[in-house]
Amino acid sequence: MTCAASTTPPPPAVAAAPTVADHVLPPAKPPVTPAKRPAVQVVYPDHVAPFKPVATVVDNRIPSVLLAAYQHAAGRVPACHLRWQVLAGIGKVESNHARGGQVDPRGTVTEPIFGPSLTDGTRAVGPMQFLPSTWSTWGVDANGDGVADPQNVWDATASAADYLCADRRDLSLNGDLVNAILSYNHDGAYLADVFQWITTYSGGVAAIPAVAAPPPTAPVTTTSTPPPTTTTTTPPATTTTTPPNLVGAVVGGLLTDVGSLLGKK
């Protein structure tokens, strides 16, 4: 039996769909509302004027003591992937790195830093500007002196690191980083300002000595000079001795020269 060859043509070839590199865009994920602890509160900046975005930031200087504190605090929660530049960006905006590094050998600011009075009468405190109620929850003793002090750069930066890393955030993810900074101050201009400094410090920094604290103000003491007292003694008519000299008592005044104090979100 002979089999006839099939006259049915083969199906047309289908062109393969073009492939798209999977690294161009991350896979789409449904929006997730991050969990937020009830105790987390907004920390306000240390200025009254509203924040303005910084177009170009060129100053990459950080006082060495503050740089060391930022770097030390960034490693507190390894799973958080907090970079020290984030703490430095916040510290720059909040207090200009503790007013240029004006701290004592223990890392405590030489003059307390306070933010403006808020509507409830409270004020943010310290170089990282914590509200007292927030500090009571997040404040830690990082320098081991037995006191959790918001005016101490070691304690304040460590507490800020814990605050930013709350709720198991992974700050290597842009979304978590944005939410962390907005939890510090929920303001878009503030976020832009901090990100400008993060970008600047990520390109390299110059460690500089701390700014010398201004001298303490001494009270001006002035002692008025009383008028001289003159006593004249008339010698007796029968004496031949020389009359006593005039007695003049003059009290000198003391005037203390005082150098003017250079003052200071």
Residue range 61-208 forms a domain whose CATH class is mainly alpha
Which of 93-102, 153-162, 191-200, 228-237 has the least mean pLDDT? Answer: 228-237
Beta strands in 112-211 (DSSP E): 206-208
Task: State yes or no: pLDDT of 12 exceeds 70.
Answer: no
Average pLDDT, the chain: 73
Task: State yes or no: pLDDT of 130 exceeds 70.
Answer: yes
Strand 206-208 with 229-231, pairing: unpaired
Quick one: which of 35, 41, 57 has its CA closest to 202? 57
Give the end-to-end CA distance of the chain in Å, rounded to a whole number: 99
Cα within 13 Å of Cα(252), Cβ side:
2
User: Averaged over 64-84, what is the pLDDT?
Assistant: 96
Nearest-angstrom CA–CA distance, 212 and 101: 8
Q: Where are the domains of the chain?
A: 61-208
pLDDT given for residue 7 in this prediction: 57
Nearest-angstrom CA–CA distance, 141 and 135: 11
Cα–Cα–Cα angle for 91, 83, 194, rounded to 5 degrees: 40
182-203 pLDDT tens trace: 999 999 889 999 999 999 999 8
User: Averaged over 219-233, what is the pLDDT?
Assistant: 47
